[in-house]
């Protein structure tokens, strides 16, 4: 993956103003549609099934009609496909079967897990396809549009279409970086590990603190997790602290015992993360083999409550 390409503005070679259609006016699609409108494009139609999507479209895309998906595509020069990963292949292929894709259209999807292959049915009809994934979490709140400014976008396209892809990202306020087609799934797995699993870990830690009698876990976790995130990003494995990095097998054993008794649903996650932390600490030289082995033996012997 290459470094971010930074450009102040799209410049005089920016594409002409386009009629934009948003398929999937959810947390991501509505925000990107609003960003394209702010760049001077005209959002002409959107598709969204859920009540939340419809409310979000009314708030972020005021006056934009909600239409069936095929009508959105037919009305648009640029189609934003912001639907769940598993729904994307069937959507693109189904639209191709209707004959609604047309030569000269631009279409990009926002899936991190997919690259260009999923757009093949549209490309066969002459559509210029792009994969533009914003590496940002969107909550559906009013702050999402502000979060888009400076957001890195994982870009995958044919080499000759890369300037177009980067221009579209820059117009939305993002920062494009290149992800090869063959690296797309691994790229997405990395982001899921870092973002989605992080939310799970934070929520789990907060629940355990409540079980321990702490009424406001966010006040405890905020400074601690902020420092841990800073250390991890700045120093990698060298920023690791805690009982595993010290080889304190007795402390880890105590944790497992307490969790088994008072929070059995948390045991499997704790053991899995402690095992992976042990492996990384040893690989980084933080733990010597004779220090890591007792931890590994302990963790391998834990019976996870069913």
The CATH number covering residue 166 comes to 3.40.50.720
Tokens for 82, please give them. Answer: 């912001």
Mean pLDDT of 249-270: 97
34 and 127 housed in the same domain: yes
* Final residue belonging to a domain, choices 157, 179, 201: 179
Rg (CA), the chain: 23
Q: Flag whether 261 is in a domain.
A: yes
Dist. CA 69–CA 76, nearest whole Å: 11
Give the up-direction half-sphere exposure of residue 108: CA atoms within 13 A in the CB hemisphere: 29
Domain assignment present for 195: yes
Q: Does residue 166 share a domain with residue 62? A: yes
Asked if 174 and 28 sit in the same domain, the reply is yes
Q: Which residues contact 72 (CB under 8 A, 6 or more apart)?
A: 21, 22, 23, 45, 46, 47, 79
Residue 218's contacts (CB-CB under 8 Å, 6 or more residues apart) are 206
Q: Is the pLDDT of residue 11 over 60?
A: no
Domain assignment of residue 137, given as a range: 19-179
Lowest mean pLDDT of 25-29, 70-74, 278-282, name the range.
Answer: 25-29
- Do 110 and 226 share a domain, yes or no? no
Residue 13 in any domain: the answer is no
CB 219 within 8 A of CB 256: no
Q: Of 148, 179, 210, which residue constitutes the final position of a domain?
A: 179
The answer to whether residue 152 is domain-embedded is yes
Query: Are the CB atoms for 121 and 102 separated by under 8 Å?
Result: no
| 306 falls within a domain | no
Given pLDDT bands bounded at 50, 70 and 90, which one contains residue 139? confident
Overall number of domains in the chain: 2
Residue 141 three-state SS: coil
Q: How, if at all, do strands 42-47 and 128-134 pair?
A: unpaired
Model-level pTM?
A: 0.88
Statement to judge: residues 96 and 226 lie in one domain? no
- Please indicate, yes or no, whether residues 50 and 150 belong to a single structural domain of this protein: yes
249-262 and 267-283 helices cross at what angle (nearest 10)? 160
Examine the domain organization and report whether 247 and 275 are in the same domain. yes
Domain boundary among 179, 210, 230: 179
Residue 6 lies in a domain: no
Answer whether residue 293 is part of any domain.
yes
241 and 149 in a single domain? The answer is no
Which pLDDT tens digit goes with each residue over 17-59? 999 999 998 889 999 999 999 999 999 999 987 777 778 888 8
| C-alpha–C-alpha distance, residues 271 and 4, integer Å | 36
Task: Answer whether residue 10 is part of any domain.
Answer: no
């Amino acid at each position: 993956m290459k470094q971010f390409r930074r450009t102040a503005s799209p410049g005089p070679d920016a594409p002409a103003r386009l009629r934009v259609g948003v398929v999937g006016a959810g947390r991501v699609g509505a925000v990107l549609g609003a960003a394209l409108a702010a760049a001077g494009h005209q959002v002409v139609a959107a598709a969204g099934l859920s009540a939340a999507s419809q409310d979000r479209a009314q708030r972020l895309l005021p006056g934009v009609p909600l239409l069936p998906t095929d009508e959105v595509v037919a009305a648009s020069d640029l189609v934003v496909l912001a639907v769940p990963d598993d729904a994307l292949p069937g959507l693109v292929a189904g639209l191709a079967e209707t004959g609604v894709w047309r030569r000269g259209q631009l279409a990009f999807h926002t899936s991190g897990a997919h690259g260009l292959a999923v757009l093949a049915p549209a490309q066969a009809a002459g559509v210029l396809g792009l994969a533009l994934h914003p590496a940002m979490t969107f909550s559906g709140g009013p702050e999402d549009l502000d979060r888009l400014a400076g957001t890195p976008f994982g870009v995958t396209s044919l080499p000759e279409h890369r300037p177009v892809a980067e221009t579209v990202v820059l117009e939305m306020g993002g920062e494009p970086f290149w992800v090869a087609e063959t690296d797309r799934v691994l790229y997405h797995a990395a982001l899921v590990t870092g973002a989605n699993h992080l939310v799970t870990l934070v929520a789990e830690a907060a629940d355990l603190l409540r079980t321990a009698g702490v009424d406001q876990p966010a006040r405890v976790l905020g400074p601690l997790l902020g420092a841990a995130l800073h250390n991890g990003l700045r120093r990698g494995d060298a920023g690791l602290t805690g009982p595993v990095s010290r080889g304190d097998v007795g402390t880890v054993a105590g944790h497992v015992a307490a969790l088994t008794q008072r929070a059995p649903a948390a045991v499997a996650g704790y053991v899995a993360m402690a095992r992976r932390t042990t492996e990384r600490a040893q690989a980084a030289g933080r733990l010597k083999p004779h220090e890591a082995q007792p931890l590994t033996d302990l963790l391998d012997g834990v019976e996870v409550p069913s």
